[in-house]
Structure 1
Amino acid sequence: MFGISGEHILILGIVLLIFGPRRLPELGNTLGKAIRNFKDAISGVEEAKFRRIDEAKASSAQPAPAAASPASPAGTVDTTKST
């Protein structure tokens, strides 16, 4: 019946005896919020990781600006003047 075995019913009965029928909805709500917060934290970490990867790809895809070439090449010797 709905995949519920005898062990599940026994565990539910023990939980009901320990916490009582008044606190069970509160416990379920708290557990749901905890799971939601955990999933949000995990997805936030993944989004940050993918964002860093995308930024690294974007910065490596942009060509580096070319260095300005000097008007006269360095190291040339003027041979027109004699000493």
Structure 2
Amino acid sequence: MVMHLNAISPFAVVIICVVALLVFGPKKLPELGRAMGTTLREFKKGTSGLLDDEDEKKKSANVIEQKDLEKENK
């Protein structure tokens, strides 16, 4: 199931914010936001590193294949 951002109504966002304010309090919300931002940033760095490694492996495999093909053609 794909959930689009416009599937959440503005009223639902207000309710979520009020509940978060009641549960965590006004002093903890900024700390929570910072912690979530840091976590997301680290996650993105980690996943981009994995994707970069995959790309490098594919490129090196393509280079090896091309060299093998050139040797066969000679």
- Common topology (TM > 0.5): yes
Aligned match of 2:10: 5
Q: Please report the TM-score for the alignment, with normalisation by the length of structure 2.
A: 0.72
Identity %: 29
Q: Quick one: higher RCO (CA 8 Å, sep 6+), 1 or 2?
A: 2
Is 1:43 matched up with 2:22?
A: no
Which runs of 5 or more structure 1 residues have no equivalent in the other structure? 67-83
Q: Which has the larger radius of gyration?
A: 1
CA RMSD in angstroms comes to 2.2
The residue type equivalent to 1:28 in the other structure is G
Q: CA deviation at 1:63?
A: 4.7
Compare the two structures and name the one with the higher helix fraction.
2
TM-score, normalising length from structure 1? Answer: 0.65
Unaligned runs of 5+ in 2: 1-8
